[in-house]
Amino acid sequence: MTYESWGRFFRSRPARVVSLDWPHELPSFDGGSVLPYGLGRSYGDVCLNNGGTLLDTRGMSRFRRFDRETGLLECEAGATLEEILDVIVPAGWFLPVTPGTKFVTLGGCIANDVHGKNHHRAGTFGRWVRSLELRRSDRRSAPLEATIGGLGLTGLITFATVQLRRIESPFLLTEAIPFRGLEEFQSLSDSSDRTHEYTVAWFDSFDGRDARGIFFRGNHTQSDARARKRRPMKLPVPPLLNPATIRAFNTFYFRAAQHPEPRVQHYDPFFYPLDAVANWNAAYGRRGFVQYQCVIPTAAGLEPVAEILDRTAQSKMASFLTVIKKFGELASPGMLSFPRPGTTVCLDFAVKHDSLWPMLDDFDAIVAEAGGSVYPAKDSRLSPARFKQFFPQWEQFVPYIDPKFSSSFWRRVMA
């Protein structure tokens, strides 16, 4: 068992790891700061607590109640989305919101107030959390809006109740439509968001704003098809991602992934294509990688997005997984939630060249100018000033932090 974060850029050096097995057994919060840890799928350091204690929550993965009539699910916070899907899908229910991997815990989904391809319809994960139990080191409590998106700092989430979404089968009717340039993305997105519950676009990072891309969209559907359970391959993944291989991959992927005619697809490859390779994060090599996900508010238009894409292309520091999606109007419930109406762009970069850091600082400036924000769950390098600028509610949030809780991320952005 390792306690890394997904980007493998930060060294994880907890002084102590305490494994939690039962929600009713309160761990000791003594000796330095503590931070709940799930599966370590956030990219930067929000899940790390160097020099302090990590509370490993994976032993708390039991269901507490599942009402098959109403779709209310109460579950311990260490349960993974995979474990939840295995039970709810055969019963005709689906997650109200899902991120791009099922290897995350319920607690992590709440603490990072994650979003998915249906943000324009459902908003963030936190909107579907009906209640939760929080264990703190003091006698105080924190409101739901502090804990949702609260980065694990308001206390230990032991269990939570989530409203699920009805489905008629595990299948979706999906399309993968090739397009070129941001404007085509814009019009595809605007029309698809009216007709489709799930939308997202992949972009080739080499050609800036005029790049080719594939627009994915889908709706749940009825189907009698039978599903085969995929087991993730655990391969020794070589450090094979560099600009040349990414360029070759993009050319291949652009052809292979497009499928403009609707087809019936199981939820697993549609929502979780990368889960098929269990440890794809190793492909970036020894020093790991960083993600940069920002949101540009609708009012600022698409120009800031275009600028970021152009700068990425000029840098020749290829981004393997460039993803763009328009967030909808539904307000995020957490004080530190990231999603807000606008366009979100997600890029990832191998940590190889020193020029990466000033470029990302420039991106911060573009985002700040546009009145946008950067996603803490993916961040590895935001400055304290930028964090406070992007999350002005941090001051109202601070009083709800459990005095014994902290994280590497929090100490970095509060420095």
Partner 1 sequence: MKIAIIGATAAIAQATAIPFAENQAEFFLVARDAAKLAAVAADLQARGASRIDTFIADLADLPRHAAIIEGAGDVDVVVIAHGSLPDQQAIDRDPAAQLAAFHLNATSVISLAASFANVLESRKGGTLAVIGSVAGDRGRRSNYVYGAAKAAIHAWCDGARARLRAAGANVLLVKPGWVDTPMTRGMKKNPLFADARSVGRGIHDAIAAGEGTVYLPRFWRWISALVRLLPERLVKF
Chain positions contacting partner 1, by CB under 8 A: 1, 19, 21-24, 59, 62-66, 73-74, 87
Based on CB atoms, which residue is closest to partner 1, 74 or 364?
74
How far is Cα 21 from Cα 164, in angstroms, rounded to an integer? 25
Burial class (CB in 10 A: 0-12, 13-18, 19+), 182: buried
Q: How far is CA 120 from CA 116, 191, 194, 327, 328, in A?
A: 9, 12, 9, 5, 4
Contact 399, 138 (CB under 8 A): no
Based on CB atoms, which residue is closest to partner 1, 62 or 311?
62
Contact 271, 100 (CB under 8 A): yes
Q: State which amino acid sits at residue 102.
A: K
Shortest distance, position 189 Cβ to partner 1, whole Å:
38
How far is Cα 224 from Cα 228, in angstroms, rounded to an integer? 13
How far is Cα 172 from Cα 220, in angstroms, rounded to an integer? 4
Shortest distance, position 234 Cβ to partner 1, whole Å:
11
Indicate the SS3 state at residue 284.
helix
Q: How far is CA 303 from CA 120, 183, 277, 361, in A?
A: 21, 10, 35, 18
Shortest distance, position 205 Cβ to partner 1, whole Å:
36
* Host H or E run for residue 397: helix 394-397
Based on CB atoms, which residue is closest to partner 1, 76 or 268?
76
Based on CB atoms, which residue is closest to partner 1, 74 or 113?
74
Angle (CA) 344-346-350 rounded to 5° is 165
Other residues' Cβ atoms within 10 Å of the Cβ of residue 128 = 22
Based on CB atoms, which residue is closest to partner 1, 158 or 408?
158
Based on CB atoms, which residue is closest to partner 1, 25 or 329?
25
Q: State which amino acid sits at residue 330.
A: L
Shortest distance, position 75 Cβ to partner 1, whole Å:
8
Q: How far is CA 397 from CA 322, 390, 391, in A?
A: 31, 14, 10
Half-sphere exposure for 323 (CA within 13 Å, toward CB): 15
Based on CB atoms, which residue is closest to partner 1, 135 or 326?
135
Shortest distance, position 66 Cβ to partner 1, whole Å:
4
Shortest distance, position 235 Cβ to partner 1, whole Å:
15
Indicate the SS3 state at residue 217.
strand
Shortest distance, position 195 Cβ to partner 1, whole Å:
35
Contact 114, 141 (CB under 8 A): no
Helices 303-315 and 181-195, packing angle to 10 deg: 130
Based on CB atoms, which residue is closest to partner 1, 80 or 332?
80
Based on CB atoms, which residue is closest to partner 1, 82 or 197?
82
Based on CB atoms, which residue is closest to partner 1, 23 or 116?
23
Paired tokens of 129: 């959390």
Shortest distance, position 128 Cβ to partner 1, whole Å:
18
Shortest distance, position 83 Cβ to partner 1, whole Å:
8
Shortest distance, position 102 Cβ to partner 1, whole Å:
15
Residue written as tokens 């032991």? 158
